[in-house]
Amino acid sequence: MNFNYAPIEAKQYEGNLVFLYGDEVAERALPLSKKEVEYLRECRKDNRECVIALDRLPFHLYVVAFDSELPAEQCQERLRRCADKVLGLMKSHKVEQVAVTGEGLIPEEMVAFVEGLVIADYSFDRYKSKTPQHVEMLSVDSRLIDEEEWQRSLRLWNRLFWCREWVNLPVADLNAERFADELASIAADLGVACTVFDKKKIEALRMGGLLAVNKGSVDEPRFVVLEYKPSHPINSKPLALVGKGVMYDTGGLNLKPDDYMSEMKSDMAGAATMASVVFAAADNALPVHIVACLPMTDNRPGFNAYAADDILSMYDGTTVEVVNTDAEGRLILADAIAYAVATYQPELLIDMATLTGAAMRAVGPYALVAMQQNAANPLNLLKIMGAQVHERVAELPFYDDYDEMIKSEVADIKNCGEARGGAITAGRFLAHFAKQTPYIHLDIAGVAFFSKKESYYAAGATGFGLRLLYAFLQTYDMTQKQ
């Protein structure tokens, strides 16, 4: 999708046009006849939100009526959903170029609608012999949004596009080594410091979890550290981000049954999202010092693959009894968390992972699952931001009683407990390695990848969590004042 930023006068514009109509004050600017205005009023009597398509041969006009009196986050989410409806109409009309304007809008409403179009128009096309129809050119009325804000949004959406592309790519074309190389290349362009640890360095660091999961694979693991440090950060100690980078998950020797292995290319969504957060922060010069630690490997049952009953020695010296090789994500995350704590002493650590089916079953496709230890205020801010961008956060209890369920008879801790409370015990396992560092665990298993279209997301990778954490970073100074 290409973009144009210029003034648009609705009544004089010649071309396909979307007009955003929030309240009756905007009627004077509507490019409609009196009868069409009356028709619009009739449509809004029963439902203030509606989309009307009018044929203006050779062009089309789409009037998007919405309720501007709703709370801001509800209003903006309705606009994203309306954008998806408009996109469906545009595809049926073979419209590939369109302009967006309105009257009496606040910038956030314009951004929300265009954001909905951008998200909805994405599909994973690179392996298709015939590219599906997309919006080729989107023109936005420059009178309704500040140019700097517009450019910031474009840069964020670019990161969202690449996050979704990475997660959608099959492991045959994006293994740990290739992903690390790609991140290093982007980091160099943005002035983000990037360190890539190869297998020998990982062995020297004694990252027992990452090395164990990698034992069944022909591809070497990688451990990537991205550091974005602006000249005058608001935080004295870094914010650490950790993302699960299992490039493909077979389950290892505890091989996944039936069709559970389908879509496991998405098991690196946590790493892709956390890298994208760092790059978005650098793109838009956010004043927050961030370090991302990204462990990467696939989980295969080949060679001398690690097995249930193995006992691993982790980066921080903790011994872990392997109960199930399909609970591999927490093993590689544990090494990364322990490394981040020991190396950077962060003021807050957040991990993100497609970690448990239990989280997906708990809240479905409508929110990510969160838990916190010593980080109640930052998590509350995340919840507020989640409501604003509609990447919602559902908090689960994090009682230390759950530690009983992952006690081991033969080691310090075991890598999973019973099915009951599975999302929580996975988080408690990781919290062990965070020690006393304020810690938030985000499980995106239910929202990172959709098997079929959900709302304005096409089937496939969503990038869910990127807009959430970016909004969190924009308001991160609030955590400094608490």
- Of 91, 237, 256, 435, the active-site residue reads 256
Q: HSE on the CB side for 57, CA within 13 Å?
A: 0
Q: Whole-angstrom Cα distance, residue 207 to residue 196? A: 14
| pLDDT tens column, 125-170 | 999 999 899 999 999 999 999 999 999 999 999 999 999 999 999 9
Residue 54 has pLDDT above 90, yes or no: yes
How many other CB atoms are found less than 10 A from the CB of residue 292? 31
320: phi then psi, degrees, rounded to nearest 5: -125, 125
Q: Whole-angstrom Cα distance, residue 27 to residue 37? A: 8
**Residue 330: active-site member:** yes
Cα-Cα end-to-end distance for the chain: 41
Return the amino acid letter for 477: D
pLDDT band, very low/low/confident/very high, at 46 (cuts 50, 70, 90)? confident
N residues, the chain: 482
226: phi then psi, degrees, rounded to nearest 5: -110, 130
Q: Whole-angstrom Cα distance, residue 361 to residue 342? A: 34
| pLDDT tens column, 74-85 | 999 999 999 999
- Element holding 248 (H helix, E strand): strand 245-249
| pLDDT tens column, 437-456 | 999 999 999 999 999 999 99
Residues whose CB is less than 8 angstroms from the CB of residue 170 and which lie 6 or more positions away in sequence, other chains included: 265
Contact 391, 454 (CB under 8 A): no
pLDDT band, very low/low/confident/very high, at 27 (cuts 50, 70, 90)? confident
| pLDDT tens column, 165-201 | 999 999 999 999 999 999 999 999 999 999 999 999 9
Nearest to 251 by CA among 267, 227, 232, 240: 267
- Of 85, 152, 222, 330, the active-site residue reads 330
Contact 73, 388 (CB under 8 A): yes
Q: What topology is assigned to 157-480 in CATH?
A: Aminopeptidase (3.40.630)
With vertex at residue 55, the alpha carbon angle to CA 53 and CA 61, rounded to the nearest 5 degrees, is: 50
Q: How far is CA 300 from the centre of its chain?
A: 26
**Residue 80: active-site member:** no
Higher pLDDT, 40 or 353: 353
Question: Helices (DSSP H) in 122-265: which residue ranges?
Answer: 147-168, 176-190, 199-205, 208-214
Mean pLDDT of all residues in 341-348 = 98
- Element holding 295 (H helix, E strand): strand 290-299
Residue 349 has pLDDT above 70, yes or no: yes
Determine the angle formed by the axes of helices 466-474 and 147-168, rounding to 10 degrees.
140
CATH 3.40.630.10 domain extents, the chain = 157-480
- pLDDT for 125 equals 95
Contact 83, 138 (CB under 8 A): no
User: Is 58 exposed, middle or buried, given 0-12, 13-18 or 19+ CB atoms closer than 10 A?
Assistant: exposed
CA diameter of the chain = 80
Please state which of the ranges 10-24, 426-440, 458-472 shows the lowest mean pLDDT.
10-24
pTM of full prediction above 0.85: yes
What counts of helices (H) and strands (E) characterise the chain? 14, 20
- Using CA atoms, how far residue 89 sits from 2, 12, 51, 55, 356, in Å, is 19, 23, 10, 12, 37
pLDDT band, very low/low/confident/very high, at 478 (cuts 50, 70, 90)? confident
Residue 300 has pLDDT above 60, yes or no: yes
328: phi then psi, degrees, rounded to nearest 5: -85, -30
- pLDDT for 481 equals 59
- pLDDT for 25 equals 75
> Which tokens sit at 171?
């492991």
Residue 482 has pLDDT above 60, yes or no: no
**Which CATH number does the domain 2-145 belong to among 3.30.2130.10, 2.40.10.340, 3.40.220.10, 1.10.150.310?**
3.40.220.10
Nearest to 209 by CA among 188, 225, 223: 223
Nearest to 220 by CA among 210, 232, 207: 210
Nearest to 284 by CA among 228, 210, 214, 368: 228
Mean pLDDT of all residues in 284-304 = 97
Nearest to 86 by CA among 75, 77, 95, 76: 95
Mean pLDDT for the chain overall = 96
Please state which of the ranges 42-46, 222-226, 334-338, 371-375 shows the lowest mean pLDDT.
42-46
Residue 24 has pLDDT above 80, yes or no: no
Share of the chain above pLDDT 90, in %: 92
| pLDDT tens column, 361-370 | 999 999 999 9
- pLDDT for 480 equals 65
DSSP state of 454: B
Nearest to 49 by CA among 74, 28, 73, 31: 74
CATH 3.40.220.10 domain extents, the chain = 2-145
Token pair 């993100």 is found at 352
